[in-house]
Amino acid sequence: MKLLFAATFALFVLSAFDQADSSAYDKIVAHSRIRAKKEGPNMCALQQVVGTKKKYFSTCRNWYQGAICGKKATVLYECCPGYMKLDGMPGCPAVAPIDNVFGTVGLVKATTTQDYSALSKLREEIEGAGSYTFFAPSNDAWDLLDPEVRNALVSNVNIELYNALHYHMVNKRLLTKDLKNGMTAASMYNDLNLLINHYSNGVVTVNCARIIHGNQVATNGVVHVIDRVITAVGNTIQDVIEVDDDLSTLNTVATASGLNEKLGQPGHFTLFAPTNDAFDKLDREVLDRLMEDKNSLQALLNYHLLNSVQCSEAILAGTSYETLEGSNIEIGCDGDSLTVNGIKMVLKKDIVTTNGVIHLIDQVLMPDSDEVMSMDQSFLKIILENHILKNKIVLSQLYNGQRLETLAGKFLRVFVYRTAVCIENACLIRGSKEGSNGALHLMKTLITPADSSMYQLLVKNGAFKIFLSLMEVAGLTDLLKQEGDFTLFAPTDEAFAGLSERDLSLLKSDINALRAILLYHFSTSIFIGGGLETGVTNLLKTLQGSNLKANESMLVNTVKVRDSDLMATNGVIHFIRTLLYAEDIPVGNQDLLSLLRRIIRYIQIKVLNLLFFIYAVQREPTITKVTRVIESPTKMKKVTRVIEGQPSVTKVTRVIEGDPTMTKVTRVIERNPSITTAIEGKHHLTHP
């Protein structure tokens, strides 16, 4: 009995150790296996980013969002690592044959690496005795390599190519559970180190190359397939910024701040390095003021530094990280691009060094301390007054539509969304803290109270002359001036580039169509960028009646918002460079259809070939009516259609009739009382 107990206890302890020794990568593969259990034994579910070859064993979060890096992902089912399919049998019931490292590289379809191993003198080595770990680049990884570099390697197979492949190897067996975050492993090329990062989301990187297929066991080691060819690393972050011509201003700042030597010390850093062009965007007076204050320079540089290595392949969604300055920045991704605080600013990513990684950015990040220094001091008091309320308000007391009075006497509006609470254009990032004499709310950006209407802002900007002229022709200018809570996606004059006077006249000739197009740019509530829920499509109801589709990257109907969150007293304005169009807005004029196809992207326009058309839309109790009659030859046909619902639901009556000499169209649109009444063509009043 004692022996049985001891054996049972030993098994329990061994099982516990095995479980404790599992890695984030192993757990994510196990999760993917569970997701695919209906597909048969040993199947794994992966997500592939649409339009790319990138595949991931996905986290629960990405699985339910159906997206990777903000891009739609499709689900694939493949054999889990180490297993194979058998003809006529479901799933992957067979264990993959075990071979030496050379044969295993081919088994995992890294055939280019296998070919190069055969070309060089490496094949004999990895077919023989030993215990190796081979980080084998995939075929796609070799295709991504610069052609000149690749040709240089292949032209000297027994030296350059051999050494390059040796750098992808470690002279001992390392499974993913052995690859600890932040560790280094001596490669078989001059013992130069490989930098290993093992992230909590299951991503494992080697010199920032991601393991896409791990733990393929061989008789003399193990093979991990990676997504890029890695190169030897010998420089520190300090070395890189001292010799890179595009980072000379950053080097000057680092030297003046006294932090240059720190960037040469051992560590695990991520540096978001502003280029010279990024510093050139700063006002010269601001930069001179910063250079005179060593503390501010240190804060500025430390705000660009993380005390951890964040490779781009490990970023699958937005996550907040604390900088060495003490404030937080959010690192996210939009497809293949990295974002910082929601903005695409990364020009080049994953410059691997011995003490971390560098990402080049085209903007200088400003911590709170430097942001204050960069301002004109005459406005500083006003800005501070606009951030301090007269009364103590804690987070739980904030509600949508609330107005908060500041010390400066201005009122700030509160917007509560599903996943965010925002004050004017700024959203809270870390909740609030309550003290004995007040409450502290930490915001993503400076609060800018609104003091002008949409109309005043657009006129003052000067880049919306055509849009404003169209609003005037359509009788909608008062909409920009009246009180309310609107979101406007305002097309700049660039949206109409290339249009002739004749084109503009054609656009203005159909008032009903013009109104429908313009009202499609207005949403009925205030939506700022930080209020949009991440990982999903946000549907915004428009005054035209159809929905706009927006996401947290400020794409609306796939159109990129150029500038966002310009706060107005009656809403918020986002700038766009193209006209938006709802695919359910009918167009009956062929010339107008051709024009719209030229200036509007990403749309499907429905063409109507109707004879006599009465179209009534009911939205609000108050009514604005438009009646239109168009005559042209056609055949006779009648259709009556009635759709009824709740008082706020659209009610449509359609009558189509005619004769060989006449086509008539009567259209009635009911909207807010501020929209003027227009009657053109033959006067004919139709009630819904």
169-183 per-position pLDDT tens digit: 999 999 999 999 999
CA 687 – CA 565 distance, rounded (Å): 40
- What does the block give as tokens for 399? 């509600």
pLDDT of residue 368: 65
- What is the arithmetic mean of pLDDT over 222-236? 93
Q: 10 Å Cβ neighbour count for 609? A: 8
Confidence of residue 248 (pLDDT cuts 50, 70, 90): very high
Let me know: does 508 contact 514? Beta carbons within 8 Å: yes
Confidence of residue 666 (pLDDT cuts 50, 70, 90): very low
CA 301 – CA 7 distance, rounded (Å): 58
- What does the block give as tokens for 43? 């199947």
CA 182 – CA 202 distance, rounded (Å): 14
Selection from 506, 522, 525 nearest residue 514 by Cα: 506
Higher model confidence: residue 140 or residue 8?
140
Hey, which residues does 612 pair with through a beta bridge?
664
- What does the block give as tokens for 349? 């990513």
pLDDT of 373 over the 80 cut: no
CA 639 to chain centre: 47
Write 143-148 long-range contacts (CB < 8 A, 24+). Answer: 144/228, 144/229, 145/228, 145/229
Confidence of residue 271 (pLDDT cuts 50, 70, 90): very high
- What is the arithmetic mean of pLDDT over 297-319? 90
Confidence of residue 542 (pLDDT cuts 50, 70, 90): very high
- Beta-carbon-side half-sphere exposure of residue 74 (alpha carbons within 13 Å): 8
Whole-angstrom CA distances from 12 to 26, 105, 469 are: 20, 36, 78
Let me know: does 222 contact 216? Beta carbons within 8 Å: yes
CA 341 – CA 320 distance, rounded (Å): 9
Q: 10 Å Cβ neighbour count for 331? A: 22
CA 518 – CA 526 distance, rounded (Å): 17
The helix/strand/coil state of 141 is helix
Confidence of residue 376 (pLDDT cuts 50, 70, 90): low
pLDDT of 346 over the 80 cut: yes
pLDDT of 660 over the 50 cut: no
pLDDT of residue 585: 64
How many residues make up the chain in this entry? Answer: 688
CB contact set of 69 (below 8 Å; sequence gap of 6+): 49, 315, 316, 317, 332, 333, 334, 335, 336
- What is the arithmetic mean of pLDDT over 294-300? 86
- What does the block give as tokens for 447? 């609060």
Let me know: does 138 contact 226? Beta carbons within 8 Å: yes
CA 233 – CA 211 distance, rounded (Å): 19
Whole-angstrom CA distances from 85 to 92, 198, 255, 356 are: 4, 30, 59, 41
pLDDT of 653 over the 50 cut: no
CB contact set of 3 (below 8 Å; sequence gap of 6+): none
Let me know: does 414 contact 399? Beta carbons within 8 Å: yes
pLDDT of residue 325: 86
Range 237-368 has CATH code 3.40.50.300 = no
Confidence of residue 639 (pLDDT cuts 50, 70, 90): very low
Q: Do the domains spanning 97-226 and 454-606 agree at the CATH topology level? A: yes
pLDDT of 384 over the 80 cut: no
Q: What percent of the chain has pLDDT over 70?
A: 80
pLDDT of residue 605: 40
CB contact set of 14 (below 8 Å; sequence gap of 6+): none
Whole-angstrom CA distances from 432 to 253, 367, 467, 533 are: 34, 19, 41, 20
Report which DSSP code applies to 330: E
> Of 118-122, 226-230, 558-562, 667-671, which range is least confident?
667-671
pLDDT of residue 671: 40
Topology adopted by domain 454-606: FAS1 domain (2.30.180)
Q: Identity (one letter) of the amino acid at 487?
A: T
DSSP string, 32-56: HHHHTGGG-TTEEEEEEETTS--EE
Higher model confidence: residue 518 or residue 499?
518
> Of 91-105, 163-177, 329-343, 543-557, which range is least confident?
329-343
Question: pLDDT tens digits, residue range 26-76?
Answer: 999 998 999 999 999 999 999 998 888 888 887 777 777 788 887 888 999
Let me know: does 50 contact 71? Beta carbons within 8 Å: yes
- Helices and strands in the chain: count of H runs, count of E runs: 22, 39
What residue segments make up the domains of the chain, in order of their start?
Answer: 3-84, 97-226, 237-368, 388-440, 454-606
- Helix residue ranges, H only, 111-161: 111-119, 122-127, 139-144, 147-154
Q: Identity (one letter) of the amino acid at 410?
A: K
- What does the block give as tokens for 589? 């004029």
pLDDT of residue 486: 95
- What does the block give as tokens for 40? 């048969």
- What is the arithmetic mean of pLDDT over 510-515? 88
Selection from 566, 573, 488, 569 nearest residue 524 by Cα: 488
Q: 10 Å Cβ neighbour count for 684? A: 12
Q: What percent of the chain has pLDDT over 90?
A: 43
Hey, which residues does 433 pair with through a beta bridge?
440
Q: In what order do the strands lie in the sheet with 305-306?
A: 305-306, 269-274, 356-361, 346-353
DSSP string, 489-521: EEEPGGGGTT--HHHHHHHHH-HHHHHHHHHTT
pLDDT of 116 over the 90 cut: yes
pLDDT of 238 over the 90 cut: yes
Question: pLDDT tens digits, residue range 72-88?
Answer: 889 999 999 889 899 88
**Which region holds residue 190: left if phi is over 0, alpha if psi is between -120 and 50, else beta?**
left
Selection from 547, 554, 557, 555 nearest residue 519 by Cα: 547
CA 202 – CA 58 distance, rounded (Å): 8
Give me the chain's average pLDDT, please. Answer: 80
Question: pLDDT tens digits, residue range 397-446?
Answer: 889 989 999 888 889 999 998 888 999 998 888 667 777 778 888 888 88
Higher model confidence: residue 475 or residue 382?
475
CA 664 – CA 652 distance, rounded (Å): 17
- What is the arithmetic mean of pLDDT over 296-318? 90
CATH of span 97-226: 2.30.180.10
Question: pLDDT tens digits, residue range 135-162?
Answer: 999 999 999 999 999 999 998 888 999 9
